[in-house]
Structure 1
Amino acid sequence: MAETRKRLLRLLGVTAVLTLLLAPVPAVAQEQQKAPVTVPALTDWTAEHGSYTYGRSTRLVADSPAERRVADTLADDLRAAGHGTVPVVRGGARTGDIVIDVRSSRGTLGAEGYELHAGKRLSVTGATETGAFYGTRTVLQLLAQGDRIPAGRTVDTPRYQERGVGVCACYIHITVPWLENLVREMAYHKLNQLLLELKVKSDAHPEANTWGYYTKDEIRRLVALGDRYHVEIIPEINSPGHMDPWIENRPDLQLTDSDGAKQPARLDVTQQAAFDYYTSLMDEYAQVFTARSWHMGADEYMLGSDYSKYPQMLRYAQQKYGPEATPQDAYIDFINRVQAYAASKGKRLRIWNDGLTGANTVPVAAGTTVEHWLNVAVKPSALIAQGYRVENAAYSLYLVRGGFHSDTASLYDQSWDPRSFEGEKLASGKGVTGAKISLWPDNGRGETENEVAVELWPALRHIAQATWGDAHPDATYDAFTARGTAVGHAPGWRDLTRLPVADGMYTFRTAGASFRAAVTRTADGYASIQTADGCLEISGGKLTLNTPLQPGVAATWKTCDASSTLQRWQLIRDSGGYELVNAITQMALSVDDGRLVQYPPDQHTPAVWHLTAH
């Protein structure tokens, strides 16, 4: 009888073990196995028992200069994100600390990868300072969702070297606070290149200083922010086409057609003076930009025309390269001369692809990076086979003011990745440097900056995901966008839609002018200013990209139109009052003989308006 009971107990024991092994895994245990939510998503996560808790006693432990730079930036961002003031210390770590570790011996992490381990302490390890920095971006995203981080380990490295955003702050002036927001958002999502086409106010060529330029001090501050956040800001002066912002007042440098008509947007590449002018601008930009690359654009040189209308191009090419040369060789020659000049200054050249149609006999110089946006005869695969570095800048990734907007949801559902070019899908990513989204102001008044931002953030998160890791980490686009909601905006990001005054009736007073008007917040976060005569608007003067960008143009009262972006205004605090800055032209109002006129702030001192509420 006793032996029978023993056999029964042994049998029950085996049954109990089998029941335990075959039972469904509890939901809590399943949740622990999932990687924490980040953008880009973590693809290599090993869960462990327990969790890390961020608290009042947390310190940042960093010893080397590189580690301390990363820790100092993280400390500032933690404070900006509302996580309090965290000391940066040297020496041994204790429970609750965040340890920053830069170890060159961890070469498998590459130049930008990192390892993160969450347990009693939180440790971030990179082979480089940049890698450790990216690990801290993941830390910030996790803490944005709560002070508890599940225990586990990840090794996170990017698939592509170049992960970017291109912005044409050309013609239209984009505000520095907006660009600063962009730099912070890019770094938060591990994007590393901001390709910026813009005009820096020139000391060497004052005749070129048409609005909307940036001052050198403004650019120095923006570049310093980019350097701190590991976002390389690469400048572009588009040439030899689209040069009108620079040569509209230099007819001597403009290409002349066979009818004798000057082309203010086309630089005459057959002139040595044109090359000297362009390289002098490059030298001036080198005073404020620290990037290792130079972008010369080189797109759409013959847009709306053809080389046959410019016989001097063929003469130049044949004199230099022989009787078999083509007019396009003169264009390629200019690119190669700029490439050589950039290389002499330690910089790599970048160009757009549309001019590389195969009609040239002279090849583009080796070492040039080609940004492919348009489907032309020479495909990306051919460029790669010829040895060029190729970045995907596909038209499908464009955001155009008042025009085409990238369909981010569709791209995500297609599992778009940087191998998918316009006109060709590559089997391999070999030779592809990465990808970027591009923002263009083709209709400058079509949308305000704040409206562009609404479209930008989903596209930015998508390009970050597609260039860093798995192009389709979630089953649906809604699930992917939920990641963006979970991690929120970068620390230090500013809400530029907040008005500093409440809606209501005010008297506006400044030296030489006063009026009474109703201030009403617009849907995109600007102010409509309305009197009995209508709404305050900038109109008239010379239009550039459908926008009145001429200094000295008057602001007048027009019939109110909620769709008119030129009737939207920023109220910027200044000396106890406010400057009135147009949301599109980004020029402030001054008073001239009782008239309200717009001027760049460094040309005319903006009027300071004092508001009295009624």
Structure 2
Amino acid sequence: MADQRAARSVRSGWARRVVGCAVVLLLTLATPVQASARAAAVPPVTVPALSNWRAEQGSYSFGPGSRIVARDPAARRVADTLADDLRAAGHGTVPVVRRGAHAGDIVIGVDPSASRLGTEGYELRSGESLLVTAAGETGAFYGTRTLLQLLAQSDRVPAGSTVDVPQYKERGVGVCACYVHISTAWLENLVRDMAYHKLNQLLLELKVKSDAHPEADTWGYYTRDEIRRLVALGEKYHVEIIPEINSPGHMDPWIQNRPDLQLTDADGVKQPARLDITQDAAFTYYTSLIDEYAQVFTSGSWHMGADEYMLGSDFAKYPQILAYARARYGANATPQDAFIDFVNRVQAYAAAKGKKLRIWNDGLTGANTVPVTAGTTVEHWLNVTTKPSRLIAQGYPLMNAAYSLYLVRGGFHTDTKALYDQSWDPRSFEGEKLASRAGVTGAKISLWPDNGRGETENEVATAMDPALRHIAQVTWGSAHPDPTYAEFTARGAAVGHAPGWRDLTRVPVAEGTYTFRGGAATADLQVRRTADGYVTLRSATSGGCLEVSGGKLTLNVPLDPGVEVTESPCVAADNLQRWELESVRGGYRLVNAITRMAVHVTDAGRLLQYPPDQEPPSVWQLTIH
């Protein structure tokens, strides 16, 4: 029924665009053959929408005898991924063969001479068989994403053809998992959904557990194996995962235990979030982190952030920075020149490692005499003195990461409906609307964890869905493919989520009262499902709810390992009282919905939260009353 409603919505939207009331009346009186022909001319429903569709008679039918035909190695890699996804989507095992296409088959071809399609475009032809042709492997892959969306709605695809080429080369999502941990299952879902909607770039600001600097391994980190698995998934699905360690500001996740690297103000006060850019040791420290990340990330880019270095302060409080700048660049140098000097030194180091540098725009205030190195990509999020048109004129590749596209966890959320209604596109920067796409690499939505306690991962995922589909649409094709936002959201509902996407809101046990046994701990707890797909655990004896509290708070979250899990008065709005019951061999793990640490039971029966690589999560057996 949802698919039928979506199809009716798209058809009604087409009628409003093309005809007036008088013609609608004529359509009502048209013969069935005429009505069918007009319906066939409507492009099949996809996100991003197909910008052109040439309808033909008949349809392609996918069924038990369908195969995937792919001759050359690049096409076979695409075919193997498609076969995996068809199986994950419930279409069974579809064989991949080299030749001999017949009716019902899917034929994937990679033809480098099809240069009109670029590196990511494709041509799709639907008839007795379905053909996807592209100049390269990535384009062929995107053609199969369109096919998967069509098969998510029906095993029949209208006969016709389309040539589908993106308008922008960078189509992305940015996620800051730099303070509050985000589960790898959530990130894997994101990668799959990004690829399904033809998004190709995921910026991850996060902490990888460091061997070189174990003093920095406070919680919030990912293990190398976790990142390798995520990067491998991104490579399979043509999503480039670009790492970021923000510097020289926002460095507290790394240098809170390194006062020797912290910037000191004129009063002698250390600044744990600011790296002292006048020290060679600070540059050596930062580049050593780049080297460690290069062991697990394969991206050709490095994002150093470079935003908000003087947030809440100013250079005048740090006279050593001006002295450093003048020593390097002469008497007319400014403190900003020292900042740009650090950026350029990181750029040179990254370039020597084969990586292109990316930075945020707000540090480019125009108060510098030293320019940022040419070729550095600037991601524009804030309206400052140096406007987007000026940056483009200076030759910097410019990505639109506007604040209007942000989702702040527990705070501001992008108004996707308003953006859609005003036909927002990547030329619309904060503070300036450009007349041309020239120099604009693309756009992305961004998720920031400013109030980590404000929303759970599952709540964030729900809020992000429409924003993700919208950014996919405006970076690939038309900014306004449907007359109304309701019709655009119906389009998204019709295609659904990517094959292999996991419903992380599924609770593996029924509500009720259970005896929990884990190691030396036993408790009778009432399990209640929350609206966002977690559970609360209420003591059957005291009436209190299990909660993590205590220790140092970061973004309103107790992120210290070893913090005790206690019983507190039950508060429905307290996300720290929400738990994930993670199914494992022999029972369940208890993982806090916000801290993402699991419960470890000591020999004395105390319940403590720990990262799984520090203390083994306890496995709980549940017996219902």
Instruction: Give the equivalent residue in structure 2 for 1:263.
Output: 271
The equivalent position to 2:569 in structure 1, one of 531, 551, 559, is: 559
1:305 aligns with 2:316: no
Moved over 4 A (4+): 22-25
The equivalent position to 2:584 in structure 1, one of 574, 578, 582, is: 574
| TM-score, length basis structure 2 | 0.94
Instruction: Give the equivalent residue in structure 2 for 1:613.
Output: 624
AA of the residue aligned to 1:372: H
Matches within 5 A, 1:188-587: 188-531=196-539, 532-533=541-542, 534-587=544-597
The equivalent position to 1:72 in structure 2, one of 38, 57, 80, is: 80
AA of the residue aligned to 1:567: Q
The equivalent position to 2:601 in structure 1, one of 581, 591, 596, is: 591
| Pairwise CA distance, 1:574 | 2.4
Instruction: Give the equivalent residue in structure 2 for 1:61.
Output: 69
Number of positions where the alignment pairs a residue of Structure 1 with one of Structure 2 = 595
The answer (yes or no) to whether the contact 2:519–2:605 under 8 Å persists in 1 is no
Post-superposition CA distance 1:357-382 (Å, at most 9, x none): 00111000001000000000000000
The equivalent position to 1:159 in structure 2, one of 158, 167, 177, is: 167
| Pairwise CA distance, 1:27 | 1.9
| Pairwise CA distance, 1:215 | 0.2
1:43 aligns with 2:51: yes
Matches within 5 A, 1:84-95: 84-95=92-103
Between the aligned partners of 2:340 and 2:531, the Cα distance in structure 1 is: 47
Post-superposition CA distance 1:192-222 (Å, at most 9, x none): 0000000000011101001010000000000
Between the aligned partners of 2:231 and 2:398, the Cα distance in structure 1 is: 25
Between the aligned partners of 2:461 and 2:30, the Cα distance in structure 1 is: 49
Between the aligned partners of 2:510 and 2:339, the Cα distance in structure 1 is: 55
Post-superposition CA distance 1:352-410 (Å, at most 9, x none): 00010001110000010000000000000000000000000000000011100000000
Unaligned runs of 5+ in 1: 1-18
The equivalent position to 2:613 in structure 1, one of 578, 602, 607, is: 602
AA of the residue aligned to 1:514: T
Greater shift, 286-295 or 587-596, is seen at: 587-596
Between the aligned partners of 2:34 and 2:496, the Cα distance in structure 1 is: 30
AA of the residue aligned to 1:601: P
Post-superposition CA distance 1:442-485 (Å, at most 9, x none): 00110000000111010000000000000000000000000111
3-state secondary structure, aligned to 1:199: strand
Instruction: Give the equivalent residue in structure 2 for 1:5.
Output: none
| Pairwise CA distance, 1:575 | 2.9
Q: Give the structure with higher Rg (CA).
A: 1
Between the aligned partners of 2:387 and 2:585, the Cα distance in structure 1 is: 57
Post-superposition CA distance 1:292-338 (Å, at most 9, x none): 10000000000000000001100110000000000011110000000
| Pairwise CA distance, 1:92 | 2.2
| Pairwise CA distance, 1:594 | 2.4
Between the aligned partners of 1:574 and 1:471, the Cα distance in structure 2 is: 44
Post-superposition CA distance 1:481-503 (Å, at most 9, x none): 00111101100000000011110
Between the aligned partners of 1:44 and 1:411, the Cα distance in structure 2 is: 23
Instruction: Give the equivalent residue in structure 2 for 1:15.
Output: none
Between the aligned partners of 2:549 and 2:527, the Cα distance in structure 1 is: 20
Greater shift, 331-340 or 566-575, is seen at: 566-575
Between the aligned partners of 1:574 and 1:117, the Cα distance in structure 2 is: 45
3-state secondary structure, aligned to 1:606: coil
Between the aligned partners of 2:80 and 2:307, the Cα distance in structure 1 is: 41
| Pairwise CA distance, 1:26 | 2.5
AA of the residue aligned to 1:604: E
| Pairwise CA distance, 1:512 | 1.4
3-state secondary structure, aligned to 2:370: coil
| Pairwise CA distance, 1:510 | 1.6
Post-superposition CA distance 1:128-153 (Å, at most 9, x none): 00000000000000000100000000
| Pairwise CA distance, 1:582 | 0.3
Instruction: Give the equivalent residue in structure 1 for 2:195.
Output: 187
| TM-score, length basis structure 1 | 0.96
Between the aligned partners of 1:406 and 1:164, the Cα distance in structure 2 is: 15
Between the aligned partners of 1:312 and 1:119, the Cα distance in structure 2 is: 71
Post-superposition CA distance 1:20-51 (Å, at most 9, x none): xx977822111010100000000111001111
Between the aligned partners of 1:567 and 1:510, the Cα distance in structure 2 is: 19
AA of the residue aligned to 2:510: A
The equivalent position to 1:123 in structure 2, one of 128, 131, 145, is: 131
AA of the residue aligned to 1:574: V
